[in-house]
Amino acid sequence: MEVTLQYLAEWSTHTTSSPLYSHFAGVIAGDEALLRVINRIEHRPPPNVLLAGVHYLLMRNPDHPLAGFYPSLSERPRPVEEVDEVFTGFVLEHEEELVALGRERHTQTNEARRCTALLPAIWAGEHQSFHLVDIGTSAGLNLALDRYHYRRDEIEWGPESPVRLHAALRGAEPAPRTIEVLSRTGLDLHPVDTGDPEDRAWLEALVWPEASERRRRLRNAVEIAAGLTIELVAGNALETLPRVLDGLPAGEPAVVMNSFAFNQLSPEQRTGVEEIVHGGRARRPVQRVWLEFSGLGGEGAELRTDPGARWVTLGRAHHHGEWLELYARP
Ligand SMILES: C[S@@+](CC[C@H](N)C(=O)[O-])C[C@H]1O[C@@H](n2cnc3c(N)ncnc32)[C@H](O)[C@@H]1O
């Protein structure tokens, strides 16, 4: 789909909460040369990939005048009204690098705060010790969900951790219980390696420049994930999941989860995943956990679980874990 003035206006209204990026969307929309560049960005959505590319290049070159407008790169960012020419000049000077990044890199935002919803869904199951498999894992940060600290009023759970997660709760309270993660496996078309400085930088570049708390959380979560044994398996989950499930010790339970990834799968592929899980249950109990936009509108994403027999909708959650609404105490 071509990126037009209309597309950018909608993107700015519905997709970004960054004042700087909303401004950039307007600058791109009004400039033929910038529209040409954004339409050369291969991966979707082009504004996210292009602006993450600009952020990524600036993180390496923080003395460039454009960096002075970024809250992530400058302590006292300059007023956005003065940025237009500097931004346009930067994008045109770095056009080929940005197009190359748009061919190599993807929008793979990995938000550890989503664990404030994923963990209560696991608590709703019955397995204390289990192998954890994450479909569409990006950097695998959600596979460290037992290494983060959770707090909500009187409910506290988890070890002391530099990643302290808090979601505003609506509705019923979650029911914490002890869990033990026996192994952690993340499946992704393009896994992000927390041990690779370039991969880490790209993950950070994807975070909006104003989102300082998210950036801090990301850095801490990346450190935790990098210190754990996480097996990242590259490839289409339809091909890798059967092998991964078969490779786990027979009889030991598994939890297979997905969050904000299945919008990238066709309905047939989604059905395919459930058929693989169904087949895997011949060798072990498998709990499914699902956190995805339902496509039916409404606020937040749908949180559900299938402990083994049927799906149960547990509630809804904000896409970055800011709030969690449980329909009933699981
Ligand atoms: C937006 S990221 C979500 C990351 C993480 N689950 C989270 O909630 O923070 C979606 C990920 O799904 C991956 N993905 C999309 N289709 C896939 C497929 N067929 N098999 C494996 N991974 C896939 C993408 O590469 C991307 O890294």
Q: How far is the CA of 108 from the centre of ligand 1 (A)?
A: 7
Please give the average per-residue pLDDT across 250-267, as a whole number.
96
Indicate the range of 170-179, 228-237, 266-275, 282-291 predicted with least confidence: 170-179
pLDDT at 88: 98
Please give the average per-residue pLDDT across 114-141, as a whole number.
97
Nearest CA to ligand 1 atom 11: 136
Cβ–Cβ < 8 Å for 257, 289:
yes
Of 179, 181, 178, the C-alpha closest to 132 is 181
Q: How confident is the model at residue 8 (pLDDT cuts 50, 70, 90)?
A: very high
| Residue 128 CB coordination number (10 Å) | 10
Pocket of ligand 1 (CB under 6 A): 106, 108-111, 114, 136-138, 142, 187-190, 236-237, 259-261, 264-265
Report the Cα–Cα distance between both ends of the chain, in Å, rounded. 42
Pairing relation of β-strands 254-259 and 312-317? unpaired
Please give the average per-residue pLDDT across 122-141, as a whole number.
97
Residue 14 has pLDDT above 90, yes or no: no
Please give the average per-residue pLDDT across 51-57, as a whole number.
98
Three-state secondary structure call for residue 53:
helix
Q: How far is the CA of 237 from the centre of ligand 1 (A)?
A: 9
Residue 89 has pLDDT above 90, yes or no: yes
C-alpha distances in angstroms, 66 versus 55, 62, 86, 200?
10, 8, 6, 22
Mutate to test the pocket of ligand 1, among 264, 289, 320 (most ligand atoms within 8 A of CB): 264
| Residue 228 CB coordination number (10 Å) | 14
pLDDT at 296: 67
Indicate the range of 9-23, 81-95, 279-293, 307-321 predicted with least confidence: 9-23
Mutate to test the pocket of ligand 1, among 108, 255, 271, 320 (most ligand atoms within 8 A of CB): 108
pLDDT at 211: 95
The architecture that CATH gives domain 112-326 is: 3-Layer(aba) Sandwich (3.40)
Q: How far is the CA of 106 from the centre of ligand 1 (A)?
A: 10
pLDDT at 294: 83
pLDDT at 153: 73
In DSSP terms, 255 is beta-bridged to 132, 287
Residue 203 has pLDDT above 80, yes or no: yes
Q: How far is the CA of 79 from the centre of ligand 1 (A)?
A: 35
| Run of H or E residues at 186 | strand 180-188
Q: How far is the CA of 137 from the centre of ligand 1 (A)?
A: 5
| Residue 152 CB coordination number (10 Å) | 16
Question: Within 140-251, where are the H helices?
Answer: 197-205, 212-226, 237-247
Please give the average per-residue pLDDT across 121-146, as a whole number.
98
Of 307, 326, 310, 309, the C-alpha closest to 127 is 307
Nearest CA to ligand 1 atom 18: 236
Alpha-carbon dihedral angle through residues 93, 97, 103, 104, given to the nearest 10 degrees: -150
Query: ∠ CA(30), CA(36), CA(37), 5° rounding?
Result: 105
Would you list the domain boundaries of the chain?
5-104, 112-326
Nearest CA to ligand 1 atom 2: 108
Cβ–Cβ < 8 Å for 120, 232:
no
pLDDT at 73: 98
pLDDT per position as a tens digit, 242-258: 999 999 999 999 999 99
| Residue 113 CB coordination number (10 Å) | 24
Q: How far is the CA of 258 from the centre of ligand 1 (A)?
A: 8
Nearest CA to ligand 1 atom 13: 136
Residues 6+ apart with CB under 8 A from 122: 145, 179, 255, 257, 287, 289, 305
For every residue of 269-308, DSSP letters joined together read HHHHHHHHHHHHTTTS-EEEEEEE--SS-SSSEEEEEESS
Residue 188 has what DSSP assignment? Answer: E
Q: How confident is the model at residue 329 (pLDDT cuts 50, 70, 90)?
A: low
What's the mean pLDDT when you consider all of the chain?
Answer: 95
Nearest CA to ligand 1 atom 7: 110
Please give the average per-residue pLDDT across 71-93, as a whole number.
97
Indicate the range of 87-96, 171-180, 245-254 predicted with least confidence: 171-180
Nearest CA to ligand 1 atom 8: 259
Q: How far is the CA of 49 from the centre of ligand 1 (A)?
A: 15
Cβ–Cβ < 8 Å for 139, 243:
no
Residue 93 has pLDDT above 80, yes or no: yes
